[in-house]
Amino acid sequence: METRDIAVIGGGPAGLSTAISASRFGVETILFEEHENIGLPWHCAGIASSSRLKSLHIEGFDKAVLAEFDTVDIYLSLRHAFTVISDVPQLILDRISFDNLLAEKASSSGVELKLRSKVKALRYTYDNLVEVYTDSARYKCRVVVLAEGLPGVLARNLGFDTKSLSMLPSIQYLARVDPPLTIGIVEVHLLPGLSPPFFVWVIPIDTDLCRVGLASHNPRKLKPLLESFLSKRFKNWHILSESRWVISVGGPLRSTVKKRIILVGDVAGQTKPTTGGGIVSSIVCGTIAGRISGLASTRNDYTLLDMYEALWRKFLGFNFKIQKIARKAVDRMHWRTLSSIVESISREYQELRVVDLDTQIDLILKLISSPDLASKIVGSLLKPRTYR
C-alpha cells in the first residue's frame, strides 16, 4: 500500500488552500477530487469581500473577478425597504476560474492532484494512521484533512455531528432578465413563504444577466417560489443554467478534529449562519489546517493537530457566534414580526453604511443599537422555531 504524509479530500477552496499551505512544509501531500474538473459542477453565487480576499495573498485572483458591488438594496415583498452600503467593495467571482487558479498553485507547489478519485471510506489502522480508500487504490496517511463540502457523508460516517450543520436546499439560476439591472447593486428580497425566513438574491453580472437564487427547507418549493418571484420582478426572464445544492446555516461543528482527522470548510460548518457563505472562511481555515498538519508531520508530533481548533476559532469564532444568534432570532420569527422589523429599519435608516458587508457584524450591531429592534430580536430568541 502507498503512503503519504497528508491526504486532503475535496478540491474546493477549503481543500486546495489546505494542500497549498501543507506542501510548503515539504511534506508529501495528495488531494482527492471526485469530479473530473476542478470547480465543476458550479453552484455558488461567488460573493467575497475584496479586502478579505486581498488579505489572503492569492496572486492573480483578480482574473477571476466578474464584477463588483458596494450596494445592497433590501426589498420587502418587492417594495424597496432600505439600502446597505459597504465601504469595502464586494467581489463577484467566477468560481470555476477561481478554484482552478488555486488548483494550479497547488499543483506547482508539488501537491499530487488526483481527479476523478472519489474517496469511499476512511479507516484508522492499529498504528493510528488513516487508510484512505478510493475505487482503485488504498493509501496509508499520517493526517487526513476532510474538505468534502456538504452534505458531509465521510464526516458523518466518522461520527462527526453533521446534523448540526442545519443544511438548507438551495436553487440558483443564471438568467437573462428584462428590464435591466444596475451594475454595482445587489438585490435582497424578503418574501413571505420562505421557511425558514430566507431571501432571494439577485446578483447582476451584466445589466441583463444575473445570478438569482434562494434557499428553503422544502426542496419541492424551490423552483415554484423562484419562478413566481422572477415573474413578479421582471417583465421577461430566461434561464441559461440551473443548479441545486445545499447551504449550511448551523454554524461550526462543536468539534473539528478527531485523532488524525481534521475537518475544514463547509463540512466543518465554517460558513456564515446568516447566508451560508463560506469562500473566504474556508480558505482561512484551510490555510491554518495545512500549516498545522504540515508542522505536525515534519515534527512527527500529531498532538499539534489539536491547535487547529483553537486557532481557527480565534480568527473566526466570534463572527460565527454573532451570526448564529442572528440566524436563531430570524428562524423564530413569523413573517409579521420580520416585516415589522424591516419596516422599522426602513423608517429609521433608509440608508445604512457599514465598513465591510462580508462579516455582517457591523450591520447586526447597528441594528440592535435601536431599542425597538433589539427588543423584537430578543423576543424572537425566546420563542420556538417557526419551522421543523
Ligand X SMILES: Cc1cc2nc3c(=O)[nH]c(=O)nc-3n(C[C@H](O)[C@H](O)[C@H](O)COP(=O)(O)OP(=O)(O)OC[C@H]3O[C@@H](n4cnc5c(N)ncnc54)[C@H](O)[C@@H]3O)c2cc1C
Site of interaction with ligand X (CB under 6 A): 9-15, 32-35, 43-48, 118-119, 147-149, 154, 170, 172, 213, 245, 247, 265-266, 271, 276-279, 282
Residue 59: how many CA atoms within 13 Å on its side-chain side?
4
CB distance 147 to 269 below 8 Å? no
Interatomic CA distance for residues 165 and 158, integer angstroms: 15
Chain centre distance of CA 186: 18
CB of 153 to ligand X, least distance (A): 7
CB atoms within 10 A of CB 294: 23
CB closer to ligand X, 275 vs 337: 275
CB distance 48 to 185 below 8 Å? no
CB distance 139 to 132 below 8 Å? yes
CB distance 88 to 358 below 8 Å? yes
Q: At which residue does the C-alpha cell 481534521 appear?
A: 262
Interatomic CA distance for residues 368 and 1, integer angstroms: 58
CB of 170 to ligand X, least distance (A): 4
CB closer to ligand X, 213 vs 376: 213
CB closer to ligand X, 25 vs 201: 201
CB closer to ligand X, 330 vs 373: 330
244, 360, 388 from 195: Cα distances, Å:
17, 22, 9
Residue 233: how many CA atoms within 13 Å on its side-chain side?
29
CB closer to ligand X, 196 vs 368: 196
CB of 152 to ligand X, least distance (A): 9
CB closer to ligand X, 48 vs 322: 48
CB of 375 to ligand X, least distance (A): 32
CB of 221 to ligand X, least distance (A): 16
CB of 206 to ligand X, least distance (A): 17
CB of 268 to ligand X, least distance (A): 8
CB closer to ligand X, 14 vs 330: 14
Say what angle helices 335-348 and 371-381 make with each other, to 10 degrees. 160
Q: What is the CA radius of gyration of the chain?
A: 21
CB distance 358 to 49 below 8 Å? yes
